[in-house]
Amino acid sequence: MPLRWLAVPALVLAVAGSALAAGCPPLYSGSLTRLHAKDSIDLCQRFAGKPLVVVNTASFCGFAPQFKGLEALYQRYKGQGLEMLGVPSNDFKQESGDGAETAKVCYVNYGVTFTMTEMQKVRGPDAVHLFKILAEQSSSPKWNFYKYVVDRQGKVIGNFSSLTKPDNPEFIRAVEQALASRP
């Protein structure tokens, strides 16, 4: 009889866990390793139901000063629930292969506090799942610092070129639209 009582809570937890996984948008399937750390970011657990900006980055790109503007945008809206995910990539041959060097550029040189991952492929058949889904919903990154604004349902509501600065009014409107979206 005691075993039956132990099985009921386990069954409830299993059903709840699978319901959570089933309710997660395809964009958030999987996990990515945090920059210069050993832990992983469970994309569903971390970002599902939240407005999100995703940007592919490169430490040695001429657009790297956008880190400052992205951080300012994150600071401005994080209290309203905005999440930001920076994904370093060497797809355009402007990122270090050394996570420690990339971390120094992001965290020390530019003061980034938003979530950053280890280097990933963001274009083509070898792209990580996140960027495959972003491309399906909009387009693949054309260059470094290509920005995606994602609503609370995990749908891209805007994508912006490297030339679009983080203080661009159209970009900010898309972020505010994502913030206003319903889960």
Beta carbons of 95 and 64 less than 8 angstroms apart: no
Cα→Cα distances 145→37, 80, 122, Å: 22, 23, 11
> Is 61 among the residues known to form the active site?
yes
93: left (phi over 0), alpha (psi -120 to 50) or beta: left
As a whole number of angstroms, the distance between CA 131 and CA 148 comes to: 10
Beta carbons of 157 and 151 less than 8 angstroms apart: yes
Q: Which one from 24, 44, 61, 106 is the annotated catalytic residue? A: 61
Residues that are catalytic: 61
